[in-house]
Structure 1
Amino acid sequence: MTKSEQNEHSRTWEDKRILLLGGTSGVGFATAEAASRGGASVVVVSSRQDRVDAAISRLPRGTEGYAVDLSDEEQVRAFFKRIGEFDHLVFTAGESLSFDTIGEIELAAARQLFDLRYWGAYMAAKYGSGNIRQGGSITLTSGTAGIRPSAGSTVPASICGAVEVLTRALAVELAPIRVNVVCLGLIRTELWDNLPEEGRNALYENHGLRLPAGRVGEPEDAAEAFLYLMREQYSTGQRIVVDGGSILV
């Protein structure tokens, strides 16, 4: 990138306030970090105060952070009532997904996964869209399980499909606010920390070898898609896939 291109990129984020729900780790944090480097004012949100504090310590001075249970409607409503206006809303929040078969997973556990990943996104759009300034956007997150499900992915695939349909419906209902979704393949983030280290590393290596890209994704790879959808002004109701080519093989 030339110096003039770097300057133009920086101006993109001047005076912009970006709210990242799930912005304290993984893809959300990488997006917050990149936007901050470009001069944006960043607000990160997590369900746990310790995660908020840790993220704030690694981001530029002046970054805001809040602990909010994004599956709790009253907390979400109250948060957006006090946070004020902003330019872009990014939703990357989500706990580790369960890849149990439909016969193995408890219905209560399946509903709990929907509470954050789908209904959390829904509530963020419902209560946050009125705070978005002219020219702003909402970017949600889904995964390739919704495009190419595998055995044991009934719940993850259902959530991903629901979020993508929600994206298109919101793009129509909330226009002219732009609403898009980033569909992720396997990304090396804390979501996989529930696996033993040896098994986790084997997963990354074996999966990466099967991909056309030759490796699994890093949070910074995914962040570029979120930054693009905030930066450009003409896409809405669209899905960007960041998966190293997993849906092709």
Structure 2
Amino acid sequence: MTRLDKQAVLVVGGSSGIGAATARLFAQEGAQVTIAARSQEKLAKVADEIRQATGRDVSTAVLDITDDAGVERYLAGAGPFDHVMISAAQTPTGPARQLPLDDARKAMDSKFWGAYKVARAVRINQGGSLTFVSGYLAVRPNKNSVLQGAINAAVEALGRGLALELSPVRVNTVSPGTIQTPLWDQMDAGARQAMFDAAAAKLPARRIGQPEDVAQAVLYLATNGYATGSTVLVDGGGTIA
């Protein structure tokens, strides 16, 4: 029997990157996984990949976390879940004085308010867990990504507060550093690799993170019954470099 045998898990943002890696790892551990995201095509592809890799069925749900009514409607009929992980976000970036206010509001609506709405509406079994994904800019600001740092800090504060409010459900946050996900695919391949190499050279870990690195931290928080109100850094040492 695996650690999460027959436990119900919801991964919001499970169609790519960190979310997809988390869904795959939880399925390997025996969980009954549901992945939710905006694109049915991407969801179907990831679900099929997980089925082939693990031999386990994966459910899918089309969900836009910026759609208030849609989030409420879906979660009213879904669950309860034993573990929930939220990694979905679309966050335009740039210096505060250059980033259009509409883009700034969209970033906050997606990553912070999206997580808030899911946390507010989802049903989680007692003793289960809720895990957010923030980012190391919360504690290591960057002058070109001021808003992202502020949003990540807000997500972490939300996690600590909800750990009190939702107890005995455990609430934690994973804070990744630079992770090699499809987020970077819009860059030229050569420029992307040069950026990764330069970043890795500055990190104590001497490499860029992979989605699976973050997924392992999410699994740890879900299966450790004494972990709540925590923020776990998975940043290769980025906050101390």
Aligned: 1:91 with 2:86: yes
* Residue 111 (1) aligns with residue 105 (2): yes
Q: Shift of residue 190 of structure 1?
A: 0.8
1:70 partnered with 2:65: yes
Aligned residue in 1 for 2:47: 56
Q: CA deviation at 1:100?
A: 1.2
Unaligned runs of 5+ in 2: none
Per-residue deviation, 1:99: 3.5
Pairing 1:162–2:154 present: yes
Output the CA distance in 2 between the equivalents of 1:201 and 1:67. 32
How far the C-alpha of 1:37 sits from its partner, in A, is 1.0
How far the C-alpha of 1:144 sits from its partner, in A, is 0.7
In the alignment, the residues of structure 2 paired with residue 14 and residue 142 of structure 1 have an alpha-carbon distance, to the nearest angstrom, of 28
Matches within 5 A, 1:5-154: 10=2, 12-60=3-51, 61-95=56-90, 97-128=91-122, 131-154=123-146
- Counterpart position of 1:4: none
Describe the SS at the equivalent of 1:186.
Answer: coil
Question: Following TM superposition, by how much is the alpha carbon of 1:194 offset from its aligned partner in structure 2, in angstroms?
Answer: 2.2
Alpha-carbon distance in structure 1 between the residues aligned to 2:108 and 2:186: 19
Equivalent-residue separation in structure 1 for 2:71 and 2:214 (angstroms):
25
What SS does structure 1 have at the residue aligned with 2:134?
strand
Amino acid at match of 2:106: Q
SS of aligned partner of 1:204: helix
- 1:243 positional shift: 0.3
Distance 1:161 1:85 in 2: 28
How far residue 68 of structure 1 moved from its aligned partner, in angstroms, is: 0.8
Residue in structure 2 matched with residue 236 of structure 1 by the alignment: 228
Equivalent position SS for 1:220? helix
- Counterpart CA distance in 1 for 2:147 and 2:67 is 21
SS in 2 for 1:248: coil
Residues 106-142 of structure 1 show CA distances to partners (whole Å, capped at 9, x for unaligned) of 00000001111000100011000xx211210100010
Q: Percent identity?
A: 36
**How far does residue 72 in structure 1 lie from its aligned partner after superposition?**
0.8
Count of aligned positions: 237
Letter in 1 for 2:84: L
* Aligned equivalents of 1:243, 1:108: Cα separation in 2: 30
Q: Deviations over 1:194-225 (max 9, x none)?
A: 22222111111110111000101011111100
Alpha-carbon distance in 2 for matches of 1:187, 1:221: 9
Q: Which residues of structure 1 form unaligned runs of 5+?
A: 1-6
Which residue does the alignment assign to 2:205? Answer: 213
Distance in 2, matches of 1:32 and 1:120, equals 19
Distance 2:159 2:100 in 1: 27
- Residue type of the alignment partner of 2:223: R
SS of match in other structure, 2:239: helix
Q: Distance in 1 between matches of 2:100 and 2:156?
A: 24
CA distance in 2, matches of 1:196, 1:141: 26
Partner-residue secondary structure (3-state), 1:182: strand
User: Matches of 1:197 and 1:81 in 2, distance apart?
Assistant: 42
Deviation at 1:56, TM superposition (A): 1.4
RMSD: 1.1
